[in-house]
Amino acid sequence: MKRLLIIWTSTTFGTARMVEAAVRGAIEAAGSEVEVDIEHARDATPEKVLAADGYLFATPEHLASMAGLMKDFFDRIYYPCLDRINGRPYSLMVCAGSDGQGTVKQVERIATGLRLKRIAEPVVVITNAQTPEAILARKTLTAADQKRCSERGAALAAGMAAGVF
């Protein structure tokens, strides 16, 4: 059985909602053929990364960068996993106030260094939060954004189950 590892962190629940949708999509698409393992970035270990066959990274964008806990995750697993997960598929989801591209670039550079294979363009959900109150408020996703996240989880899990990647 293939194992999809979802590494995530969320500050205002937007990214958490993205992960929930992706998990639903992955389970619906691959059923029992792919085990979906969900790990918060603070708890994820190199051993979990090494045991997985593919990855979905989900993070909010903070000040044009990935969340600190996600960066900490990559810092902790990078060298123990280097040259040991080459070619494994990954995808990325980012919850951002206005852009998300700073985080996308950071994660893609790290994934390139780990020699992971990107399976699709990142899903970036824009919340349009621009004031301190809106930035700190609990986030919800539109139905369209939930669908995009569900489809990403489904595509990654189905591709893994079929041996496409």
Q: What percent of the chain has pLDDT over 70?
A: 100
Q: Give pTM, 2 decimals.
A: 0.97
Model pLDDT for residues 11-59, shown as the tens digit of each residue: 999 999 999 999 999 999 998 999 999 999 999 999 999 999 999 999 9
Task: State residue 31's pLDDT score.
Answer: 87
Model pLDDT for residues 54-105, shown as the tens digit of each residue: 999 999 999 999 999 999 999 999 999 999 999 999 999 999 999 999 999 9
Tell whether the model's pLDDT for residue 117 goes beyond 90: yes
Locate 163 and state its tokens. 């041996």
Average predicted confidence (pLDDT) for the chain: 97
Look up the CATH architecture of domain 2-162. Answer: 3-Layer(aba) Sandwich (3.40)
Contacts of 132 (CB under 8 A, 6+ apart): none
Task: State residue 73's pLDDT score.
Answer: 98
Task: State residue 33's pLDDT score.
Answer: 95
Contacts of 119 (CB under 8 A, 6+ apart): 89, 90, 91, 155, 156, 159, 165
Domain ranges of the chain: 2-162
